[in-house]
């Protein structure tokens, strides 16, 4: 679908630039200057990020690679298009919660309500396992193994199965939550008060609510952070890193395909230490 949309956008852009209907466009008109102009249009006129721009370029390169094998008479024009490279995207800052911030966030959940107790378990589980929001919210009771070798199993990106160990305090919370769920017969582990599956947006809204409450009562630093479900995943990774866990193990823990993805946590940790040193200098 993404490739189809890219080609549609490209053809519409080329037709508008040349002043001709899309149906009358010739392949030779989709030359390197036209493609470069289209990529520039994506960033400046459509406001696309560099990552989106690069994804669109990948779709175009796929089309022109296909054309190169079937239309060698256009080899020169195709080679010039294929020579257009991706832009380097700046890595976003990794936001994560310190131990006091995580403790305050969990404490802000109202233990006297079912939703508050649910949120407490969800936040704790997410910050300990690093599960993605989609993985967390589709967990079922059968995915929990709370006896010897306690772990949670899930299917991550590419439907790849991943097993993540559970700590003693997480096991205790889950054992208390299982019989207290508002809808014991529901398929998923975490639901709304009426037993329907909890959405990612609903989870994000609850995090925002608890973070604001914690910031106003006991932990002002939470007010400076946008606490999202993915921040809890970052928090799990940074806690593992600070505990001395090898980066390759963290990659397996999080279900990363490449160590390059996990290396952002090493960079974030180094930046934090450099800031601490600068304050003490």
Question: Would you please indicate which residues are annotated as catalytic (active-site) residues?
Answer: 132, 157, 230, 233, 256, 265
CB 233 within 8 A of CB 140: no
How many other C-beta atoms lie within 10 A of the C-beta of residue 22?
A: 11
Take residue 44 and report the two structure tokens written for it: 């400046």
Phi, psi of 16 (to 5 degrees): -70, -40
CA pair distance 194, 137, nearest whole angstrom: 15
CA pair distance 58, 61, nearest whole angstrom: 5
Q: Quick one: which of 281, 273, 136 has its CA closest to 199? A: 136
Q: Which residue has the tokens 């089309």?
A: 63
The helix or strand, by DSSP H or E, that contains position 67, with its residue range, turns out to be helix 50-70
Phi, psi of 98 (to 5 degrees): -75, 170
CA pair distance 18, 32, nearest whole angstrom: 14
Q: What contacts 68, CB < 8 A, 6 or more positions away?
A: 74, 75, 78, 79, 82
CA pair distance 191, 211, nearest whole angstrom: 20
- Is residue 219 classed as helix, strand or coil in its secondary structure? coil
């Amino acid at each position: 679908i993404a490739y189809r949309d890219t080609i549609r956008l490209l053809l519409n852009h080329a037709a508008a630039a040349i002043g001709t209907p899309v149906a009358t466009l010739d392949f030779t008109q989709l030359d390197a200057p036209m493609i470069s102009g289209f990529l520039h249009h994506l960033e400046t006129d459509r406001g696309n990020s560099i990552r989106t721009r690069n994804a669109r370029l990948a779709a175009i390169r796929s089309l022109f690679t296909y054309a190169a094998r079937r239309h060698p008479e256009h080899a020169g024009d195709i080679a010039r298009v294929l020579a257009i490279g991706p832009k380097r995207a700046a890595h976003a800052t990794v936001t994560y919660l310190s131990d006091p911030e995580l403790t305050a966030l969990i404490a802000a959940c109202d233990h006297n309500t079912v939703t508050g107790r649910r949120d407490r378990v969800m936040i704790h589980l997410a910050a300990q396992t690093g599960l993605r929001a989609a993985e967390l919210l589709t967990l079922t009771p059968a995915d929990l193994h709370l006896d010897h070798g306690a772990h949670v199993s899930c299917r991550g990106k590419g439907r790849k199965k991943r097993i993540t160990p559970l700590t003693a305090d997480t096991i205790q919370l889950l054992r208390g939550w299982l019989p207290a769920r508002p809808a014991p017969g529901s398929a998923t582990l975490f639901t709304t008060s009426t037993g329907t599956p909890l959405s990612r947006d609903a989870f994000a809204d609850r995090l925002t609510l608890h973070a604001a409450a914690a910031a106003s009562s006991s932990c002002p630093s939470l007010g400076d952070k946008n606490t999202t479900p993915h921040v809890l995943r970052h928090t799990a990774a940074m806690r593992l890193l600070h505990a001395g866990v090898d980066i390759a193990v963290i990659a397996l823990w999080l279900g990363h395909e490449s160590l390059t993805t996990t290396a952002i946590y090493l960079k974030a940790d180094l930046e934090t230490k450099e800031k601490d040193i600068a304050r003490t200098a």
